[in-house]
Structure 1
């Protein structure tokens, strides 16, 4: 957790809108969950304009309202977008750039998990679901936002991945394979940024934050005796996300930032 603590501390030094995120326009996919809510609040605190999307309008509204309430004056917007439809995702990217003049970041927090106790009990229907949630949404958001992020002087695409992508277990075949595919796609995007920049200084980056799993207060309340060893709290993840904009694009692009111990 040392890397996570260092990244979180770097993010805290930004203050309330005085750092690298001040005025940045950030899209957050999967903003309705606990991690999305924490990310919206932290990015708003840092002075960013935040546009969240989720397929659950009620959860999305709750996250947006919480960020607005916590940071009065912050611009936090929610929009229900079908990220499984490429054109809908492209339209979302175009609207953000038209309305706000730029796009400086995309944070991919669309999640989902299916697994079992044994490899032979892996359900192919689990793969069918996870392929949509964990891969297709990465493909569509990265394709839709690539050009806008490339135009930004601080463009960042941030994928949240899992340690299981590097060391899959028998019961997590579908989940680990989907995460590994999402990582590979993101690394290809990073190469696209590198090649598009050519001889110019790299200003945009695609990077991966790796966790073992996430934990939040509601989980702790449900399982008060659980240790959640190696898990990353959603608020620490939000700090790490904000800290991405403190790092040079060349340092981030095509790299994994581990928030838990490497397997």
Structure 2
């Protein structure tokens, strides 16, 4: 797969991590369809086609968005599932609604986007899917139950898809980041040593590698990207 000519769909593309991943891919020569629930920005850089206002947890909306992306890009070679959300809440004081909401944000969006992209990846003769999981899905802490459970679902989805499509030239992998150095996380943890966190640029570099030809033999991997946390 020639990474310099890839046609990549990125979900959650207007967030702190998504923006950096999109910029990194375009800088490497890819063209990108940037999808998000948030409104599309008024201006985009060359090589980026922005689509906002999309509920990717809705199967029909996901199919429509991926078809629009295919038309804009002329095909799809790769999908990067970043769309998601976080909420800290203890079980004793929490709500079942939080579990439903994080399942919808973190797992259902990845399932719906992947299902919608698969026909185009298969038509292209193969491709790449990269999901953003979480290190917390391996060992959850207090208040992380709903988030970790939804991200554990992303890990199992990654493994299942990798097995299903390994003979059809589609690789499926997931990154398991620790705390990402974003403005929101800095605001929530003002006293933290942010030098220990993972930067969006570091994560974007791993995504870019997984989309490249040298990574063709890697599938079903859950890759910790945890910095010094």
Same fold (TM > 0.5): yes
Shift of 1:120: 2.1
Task: Give the drift of 1:245.
Answer: 2.0
CA deviations on 1:135-188 (whole Å, 9 max, x unpaired) are 110110111111222333561111111111111123211111111112212221
Q: Which residue of 2 aligns with 1:15?
A: none
Superposition CA RMSD, Å: 2.5
Give the match for residue 12 of structure 2: 30
Ranges in structure 1 where 5+ consecutive residues have no aligned partner = 1-18, 69-73, 198-202
Q: What TM-score comes out, normalization by structure 2 length?
A: 0.88
Please, which of 143, 146, 153 is the counterpart of residue 171 of structure 1? 143
How far apart, CA to CA, are the structure 1 residues paired with 2:198 and 2:227?
11
Summarize the Cα distance change of 1:204–1:148 in structure 2 as closer, same or farther, 3 Å threshold. Answer: same
Would you say 1:90 and 2:72 are equivalent positions? no
Secondary structure of 2:41 counterpart: helix
User: Larger Rg: 1 or 2?
Assistant: 1
Give the superposition deviation at 1:125.
1.6
Residue of structure 1 in register with 2:30 after alignment = 48
Q: How many residues align?
A: 227
Is contact 1:156-1:204 (8 Å) kept? yes
Gaps of 5+ in 2: none
Distance 1:261 1:47 in 2: 27
1:227 matched to which residue of 2?
A: 193
Residue deviations 1:19-66, cap 9 Å, x none? 942121101100111101101110110111111011111xx417x63x
- Confirm or deny: 8 A CA contact 1:150 1:193 kept in the other structure: no
Instruction: Report the structure, 1 or 2, having the larger helix content.
Output: 1
Deviates more, 1:30-39 or 1:120-129: 120-129
Return the match for 1:248 from 210, 215, 222.
215
3-state SS, counterpart of residue 92 of structure 2: helix
Say if 1:262 and 1:167 are closer, same or farther in 2 by CA, change over 3 A: farther
Structure 1 pair 87–224 and aligned structure 2 pair: CA distance change class (3 A): closer
